[in-house]
Amino acid sequence: MNLLFVCDPLSSFHIEKDSTFTMMREAQRRGHVVWACTTSDLQWQSGARVSASAKQITLTGHASDWHAVVAQDVKALSDMDAVLMRKDPPFDNEYFYATHLLSQAEREGARVFNRPQALREHPEKLALMAFAEFASPTLVTRSPQAIRDFHAQHQDIILKPLDGMGGMGIFRVKADGLNLGAIMESLNRDGSTSVMVQKFLPDITKGDKRVLVIGGQAVPFALARIPQGNEVRGNLAAGGKGVAQPLSERDWQIAKAMGPVLADRGLLLVGLDIIGDCLTEVNVTSPTCFREITDQTGFDVPAMFIDALEHALADPP
C-alpha cells in the first residue's frame, strides 16, 4: 500500500523518540510504500483533486542519515491507500485550513487518519469536557472573576492556554493566590482569551500518564511522565522523565469507556492524559510515546498501530 504521512519536515525528526518515525519503519517492514509531505505541500486547484508535492522515502537504518528520497512527485491524495495526518500541534489557522483540504480529499475518496472532521471537533484541551465523569474539576472561561471563584473553591489550581503543547504556558497557583493576577494577565489578557483551569492533582508527582488508544483499544502500558526537581509539569518537552508502566485499573476503566466512542468518531489514534484517577487531556493531533513504551516494555506499539490501520482500510469507508 501507498501511505502518505502529512508531518513536520523530515529534517526535524528526532528518530530516537519520534512516534511517526516508528510508524514509518513498521510500515516499510511490512512492504508498504512510505510517502511524506508537510501541510505546506498540500494544494487544491479549482477543477482538480487535492494533491501534495510528496517524497517517496526509504528508511536506511542509519541514525544520522535515516532516510533516502526515492522519488518526488505531485500526488492526488485520493490515489494513496491512506493519508496519516501527523502534523504536530499547535492547532493554529494553518492546521485548521489543512484539515479542510483533507476533508475535501476524503470527499474525493481519500482515507484519512485521524479523520479531519474529528480533529476539528476534538480540541485537545476541550475534548475531555465531554467525558466529565472521568475528568478532574475543570473550568474553561474568559472571565477573570470566574477564574478567581474557581481558585477560591479549589485553592490549588493549574491554569493553561487552550492552544498550548508540551507543557507550554502552564502555571500553578496555590492557596495563597500568589501571582494569580499576573498569570491571568498573561493567559487571559483581560478577558479576551479563553483559559482552562483545573484543580491541582497531587498525584502529578507519580507522573502524568499517557495512555494510548489505537482503534478503540488501549495499549496495555502507559508512559508516566514524571516531573523533575521543583517542576510541576511532567511533559517530556519540559524535562519530565518517562517511565513505562502497566495500566492501572482506573486507566483501563477510562480507556475502555472512551476508546470505542472516539474510534467511532474517526479517531484511530488517541492519547489520553491521566493524572492519578483523573483524565486531564485528550490528545488527537499527533499522539506520541510509541518509542518510549516499546523500548521500555517490549510491547510493539507501532505494530499495533499498523495492524489497526490495515484493519481500518480493509473495511469500507
Q: For the domain that residue 229 is a member of, what is the CATH number?
A: 3.30.470.20
| Number of domains composing the chain | 3
In a domain, residue 121? The reply is: no
Residue of 86, 87, 125, 291 marked active site? 125
In a domain, residue 130? The reply is: no
In a domain, residue 241? The reply is: yes
Final residue belonging to a domain, choices 200, 229, 249: 200
Q: Are residues 42 and 99 in the same domain?
A: yes
209 is catalytic: no
Q: Are residues 207 and 219 in the same domain?
A: yes
Residue 235's pLDDT is what? 63
| CA–CA dist 141, 59 (Å, integer) | 46
In a domain, residue 223? The reply is: yes
Residue of 18, 106, 281, 292 marked active site? 281
CATH of the domain at 66: 3.40.50.20
283 is catalytic: yes
Residue numbers of the chain with a pLDDT score lower than 70: 166-167, 229-238
Final residue belonging to a domain, choices 79, 114, 149: 114
Q: Are residues 26 and 102 in the same domain?
A: yes
In a domain, residue 228? The reply is: yes
Q: Evaluate if pTM is beyond 0.85.
A: yes
Q: Are residues 276 and 305 in the same domain?
A: yes
Q: Are residues 110 and 183 in the same domain?
A: no
Q: Are residues 73 and 142 in the same domain?
A: no
Q: Are residues 186 and 227 in the same domain?
A: no
Q: Which amino acid is at 249?
A: E
Q: Are residues 210 and 195 in the same domain?
A: no
Residue of 233, 251, 291, 292 marked active site? 233
250 is catalytic: no
Residue of 86, 225, 235, 292 marked active site? 225
Final residue belonging to a domain, choices 162, 184, 200: 200
Q: Are residues 98 and 190 in the same domain?
A: no
Q: Tens digit of pLDDT for each residue in 233-281?
A: 656 665 778 999 999 999 999 999 999 999 999 999 999 999 999 999 9
225 is catalytic: yes
Q: What domain range includes position 282?
A: 203-314
Q: Are residues 244 and 177 in the same domain?
A: no
233 is catalytic: yes
Residue of 114, 188, 235, 283 marked active site? 283
In a domain, residue 74? The reply is: yes
Q: Are residues 17 and 92 in the same domain?
A: yes
142 is catalytic: no
Residue of 86, 87, 160, 209 marked active site? 160
| CA–CA dist 109, 12 (Å, integer) | 30
Cα radius of gyration (the chain): 20
Cell of 317: 469507508
Q: Tens digit of pLDDT for each residue in 180-193?
A: 999 999 998 888 99
In a domain, residue 269? The reply is: yes
93 is catalytic: no
Residue of 55, 210, 291, 292 marked active site? 210
CATH of the domain at 149: 3.30.1490.20
Q: Are residues 182 and 257 in the same domain?
A: no
In a domain, residue 85? The reply is: yes
Residue 237's pLDDT is what? 65
160 is catalytic: yes
